[in-house]
Amino acid sequence: MKKITLLLVVLLPFFMFAENLYYYSNGKKIPLSETSGYTFVHDVTTKSVDTFAKSLNFTLRHENIYLFNKLSSKNLKELEKSGKILPAYKRNGKEKVFASGRIFVKLPELGAKAAEKWCKNNGLRLIKTFKYAPGWYLAETSENPVKKSVELVEKKIAPQAEPSFFVKFEERTYIPNDPLFANQWHLYNDGTNPNVSGDDSTHVAEAWDVLRKIKGELGGSTVKLAIIDDGFDSTHEDFQGRFLPGHDFADGDDFPDPNQSGMNPDQHGTSVAGVAGGATDNGIGIAGACPNCQLIPIRMNMSTYSLDSSAIECFEWAQNAGADIISNSWGPADGTGQTVNMNQTLQDLVLNITTTGRNGLGTIILFAAGNGGESIETDGYASNPNVFAIGASNAAGMKASYSDFGNSLDFMASSCDQDMNGGDAWAGGGVIDGIWTTDNMGSGGYNSGNMNDGDALGNYTNSFGGTSSACPLAAGITGLVLFANPSLTKDQVYEIYKETSDKIGADSYDGNGFSMNYGYGRINACRAVKKALEMAGTDVSSVECGGPVNQSDPVNPDPGTPTDPTDSLCGNGNVDANEICDGNTVPCDQLAGAPKNGTAKCAPDCMSWDKSDCSDEEGESQTNESEGNGPVIRDDDSGCALTLI
Q: Catalytic amino acids?
A: 229, 268, 468
Half-sphere exposure of 588 (CA within 13 A, CB side): 20
Q: Which of 428, 386, 435, 426 is nearest to 408 (CA)?
A: 386
Smallest Cα–Cα separation from 478: which of 385, 413, 434?
413
> Cα separations (Å) of 229 from 244, 250, 270, 369, 537?
15, 10, 9, 15, 37
Query: Is the Cβ–Cβ distance between 89 and 96 less than 8 Å?
Result: yes
Scored b (16 or more CB within 10 A) or e, 348-377 reads ebbeebbbebbeebbbbbbbbbbbbbbbbe
Closest C-alpha to 601, from 618, 626, 580, 620: 580
Helices 525-535 and 490-500: crossing angle in degrees, nearest 10, is 130
- Side-chain half-sphere of 134: how many Cα atoms within 13 Å? 4
Give the helix/strand (H/E) hosting 99.
strand 95-106
E strands, 434-550, are 435-438, 460-464
Indicate the pairing of strand 224-229 with strand 247-248: unpaired
**Rg value, the chain, Cα:** 29
Give the three-state DSSP class for 217: coil
Burial class (CB in 10 A: 0-12, 13-18, 19+), 109: exposed
Count helices and strands (H / E) in the chain: 12, 24
586: enclosing H helix or E strand: strand 585-587
End-to-end CA distance of the chain: 89
Sign of CA dihedral 566, 571, 577, 578: positive
Q: Are strands 294-299 and 364-368 parallel, antiparallel or unpaired?
A: unpaired
Q: Please, what is the Cα angle at 218 between 215 and 219, to 5 degrees?
A: 75
- Cα-based distances in Å from 151 to 15, 86, 100: 20, 17, 17
**HEC profile for 236-248?**
CCCCCCCECCCEE
Q: How is the chain split among helix, strand and coil, in percent rounded to 5? A: 25, 20, 55
CB 270 within 8 A of CB 165: no
**348 Cβ neighbours under 8 A, 6+ residues apart:** none
d(CA 448, CA 439): 9
What's the number of CA atoms in the CB half-sphere (13 Å) around residue 173?
Answer: 19
467-484 vs 525-535: helix crossing angle, rounded to 10: 30
